Amino acid sequence: MSAAQTAPVRSKAFLAASRLGAGFGTSLAKLSREPLGMFGFIVLAVLIVVALFAPLIAPFSPTAQNLPNALQAPSWTHWAGTDEFGRDILSRLIYGTRITVQTVFAVTIIVGPIGMLIGIVAGFVGGRTDAILMRITDIVLSFPSLILALAFAAALGAGLETAIIAISLTGWPPIARLARAETLLVRNTDYVAAARLYGASPLRLLFRYIAPMCIPSVVVRLTMNMAGIILTAAALGFLGLGAQPPAPEWGAMISSGRKFMLDNWWVAVMPGVAILITSLAFNLAGDALRDILDPRHDRS
């Protein structure tokens, strides 16, 4: 077995793995024809930068109270106004990006690999394993996810970590289904057969030859999921089951602003705008990614 023989096999798997990175220029060109998608990516880039450099960007402390200054309407000093403790809402929103980004990525990092593992094993092994795994997937898929997340968060005790776990528990099935479908597509291709003939072990086949092929569509799906994660996390926060005060969690901020909504609308409205823009950006970015990475998909 010479290096020249293995090269094509290798490069095919490699190609799949780098489908995300490969043709970056053409992807960017495609993206520039999608102004909405471009907008989504820009917002997300801003979000991450803001989360990373929150202390440098925020004009005020997110937690320092200034009671004489409470419930000030938006002004040049406080762009988004102040809350009932005189805290600058914009600064709290800026620090809140950290909680949002953390939640979204934590859930994604939990849900992505679990879903992929279940999906590719089911698709690759087939038979009874496939039937059992997919049956479990379908059952979890048929659960009302928000309600279960609520119940789990209540049972485990409120907090950011439990919110993350609660959201993840019902988040993996769509990924598993997708990974299984992709695995079924590539399972019988020539390059996998070739790798098998060369004596690649099942594990090696799974992780070096099949899993990489599933990554592009899984990444698309995960990106589109992120919008839903933000909304669920905000709902948990709103009900007091997410990050605890004084942490500037957006959903919790809406909840506390609700008491003043009739006279001081900005306290509840501003965090909602932040949630809306972020979740919109994830949706737009997900749509655009799908168009770029998944040529089979027809926008209809």
Position 24: which residue type? F
Q: Which residues contact 148 (CB under 8 A, 6 or more apart)?
A: 166, 169, 170
Q: Which stretch binds other proteins (CB under 8 A): 8-16, 20-28, 61-69, 141-149?
A: 141-149
Nearer to other proteins, 113 or 240 (CB): 240
> What residues numbered 211-240 form the site for other proteins, per CB under 8 A?
227, 231, 234-235, 238-240
17 touching other proteins, by CB under 8 A:
no
Element (H, E) at 284: helix 266-293
147 touching other proteins, by CB under 8 A:
yes
Quick check: 172 and 165 in contact, CB under 8 A? Answer: no
Nearer to other proteins, 200 or 269 (CB): 269
269 touching other proteins, by CB under 8 A:
yes
Q: Using N-to-C axis directions, what is the helix angle for 3-17 and 211-238, rounded to 10°?
A: 20
Nearer to other proteins, 144 or 202 (CB): 144
Quick check: 75 and 225 in contact, CB under 8 A? Answer: no
114 touching other proteins, by CB under 8 A:
no
Q: What is the C-alpha separation between 267 and 261, in angstroms, rounded? A: 7
Quick check: 40 and 226 in contact, CB under 8 A? Answer: no
> What residues numbered 150-189 form the site for other proteins, per CB under 8 A?
150-152, 154-157
271 touching other proteins, by CB under 8 A:
yes
> How many C-beta atoms lie closer than 10 Å to residue 205's C-beta?
17
Nearest distance from C-beta of residue 155 to other proteins, angstroms: 4
* 88 three-class SS: strand
End-to-end CA distance of the chain: 47
CA 190 from centre of chain: 34
Nearer to other proteins, 209 or 282 (CB): 282
Q: Which stretch binds other proteins (CB under 8 A): 51-59, 73-81, 179-187, 278-286?
A: 278-286
53 touching other proteins, by CB under 8 A:
no
> What residues numbered 121-140 form the site for other proteins, per CB under 8 A?
135, 138-139
Nearest distance from C-beta of residue 137 to other proteins, angstroms: 11
Nearest distance from C-beta of residue 261 to other proteins, angstroms: 6
Q: What is the C-alpha separation between 23 and 16, in angstroms, rounded? A: 12
Quick check: 252 and 243 in contact, CB under 8 A? Answer: yes
Q: Which of residues 49, 52, 132, 276 is near other proteins by CB under 8 A?
A: 276
Nearest distance from C-beta of residue 276 to other proteins, angstroms: 6
241 touching other proteins, by CB under 8 A:
yes
280 touching other proteins, by CB under 8 A:
yes
Is the Cα dihedral 8, 13, 19, 21 positive or negative?
negative
Q: What is the C-alpha separation between 272 and 285, in angstroms, rounded? A: 20
43 touching other proteins, by CB under 8 A:
no
Q: Which of residues 32, 244, 261, 297 is near other proteins by CB under 8 A?
A: 261
Classify burial at 46, counting beta carbons within 10 Å of its beta carbon; exposed 0-12, middle 13-18, buried 19 or more.
Answer: middle
Q: Which spans of this chain sit near other proteins (rule: CB under 8 A)?
A: 135, 138-139, 142-148, 150-152, 154-157, 227, 231, 234-235, 238-241, 251, 254, 258, 261-262, 265, 268-269, 271-272, 275-276, 279-280, 282-284, 300
